[in-house]
Amino acid sequence: MHKKVENIDQFNHYFHQPSYHPLVSVGRLQDADLSLFAPTDFGMYCVVLMEVDFGELVLRDTCMHYRAGTMFTMKPGDVVSMNLDDRIKPHGLMLAFRPELLNGTGLGRDFYMFNFFDYKVAEALELYDTERRVIVNCFNNINTELQAPDDEFTSHMLRLGIGQMLTFCRRFYERQFDTNTMHSSDLMRRLESLLDGYWGGNGDMARRLGPPTVAWCAEQFHLTPSYFGDIVRREIGVTPQVFLQNKLLERAKSLLSDNSLSINDIAIRLGFVYPNHFARLFRQKTGMSPSVFRKQL
């Protein structure tokens, strides 16, 4: 069982602090009631900066220790807890904002860029010292705005501050991709090897699972689809969906050169339950049907 934080007032209750805005708050983990670290669904988007390693984080059924200077994020519905180390006092910062803050705003329009809210625990952001200072400054700016006299610009300024923090996170993740991930040539080699195995032989895996998906590929790399997609886009220059579609078409063209295979056989080998779905995709992407393409070979 877990508890659920329903609103900002409840959130601030755990930090023993007043509520300055109904949709946004910043709390210091060293001020938090220890009951905050029991399994909790905050029902909000949260950004947490761990200033020390004070225990084992449990999020999305994964456990992990974080060293100082690590950031992780949560979205509504995530249940998080900490197995606290009694020898170390919690220390860090936590931003929480309600989903309603995004409705009909520029921050909501641009929120698709911040898909790191879907990342796994192991895909957290490890900050350099200079980056950590930037993020702490963002926390401080948001907190300063929260405590300023409320006026018609308050919510707008808070959205700007949150947007700035999340944009810095996106920038620092790009740096982390550069330092932690494989080069594009290695990524391509591993992806192509995966797909060769997927479609190999008589296409038994494709027959069983259907055409390969981004989620399946990400799982082979032990990554979330969001994190995997960001790596592919950065290293190869196309979305993983486009990459997989292009590889499927390459495979289809190769199989079409084998006249012993019917077009229905080829569709099934590629993972299509209904051959007409394969024919429709092939025509859409190449401008001709599989049978016409075969005649032109």
- pLDDT, the chain, mean: 90
Average pLDDT on 255-282 reads 90
- Give the residue from 180, 214, 245 where a domain finishes: 180
156 and 37 housed in the same domain? yes
Statement: residue 228 has pLDDT above 70: yes
Contacts 24+ apart (CB under 8 A), 277-285: 278/252, 281/245, 281/248, 282/249, 282/252, 285/245, 285/249
Position 205 scores a pLDDT of 87
87 and 171 housed in the same domain? yes
Residue 124 sits in which domain range?
Answer: 3-180
Position 39 scores a pLDDT of 93
77 and 118 housed in the same domain? yes
Query: Who's near 67: CB < 8 A, 6+ residues apart?
Result: 50, 53, 126
Task: Give pTM, 2 decimals.
Answer: 0.71
243 and 166 housed in the same domain? no
70 and 122 housed in the same domain? yes
Position 24 scores a pLDDT of 97
- Give the residue from 146, 163, 180 where a domain finishes: 180
126 and 263 housed in the same domain? no
Between strands 55-59 and 79-84, the pairing is antiparallel
7 and 151 housed in the same domain? yes
With cut-offs at 50, 70 and 90, classify the pLDDT of residue 236: confident
- Taking only the tens place, the pLDDT of each residue in 144-195 is 999 999 999 999 999 999 999 999 999 999 888 776 555 555 777 888 888 8
- Ranking 23-37, 57-71, 170-184 by mean pLDDT, the lowest is 170-184
Statement: residue 211 has pLDDT above 80: yes
Position 36 scores a pLDDT of 92
Number of domains in the chain: 2
CATH number, domain of 154, equals 2.60.120.280
- Give the residue from 153, 180, 207 where a domain finishes: 180
175 and 191 housed in the same domain? no
152 and 238 housed in the same domain? no
Position 180 scores a pLDDT of 58
Position 163 scores a pLDDT of 97
- Taking only the tens place, the pLDDT of each residue in 91-148 is 999 999 999 999 999 999 999 999 999 888 778 999 999 999 999 999 999 999 999 9
102 and 196 housed in the same domain? no
Position 65 scores a pLDDT of 86
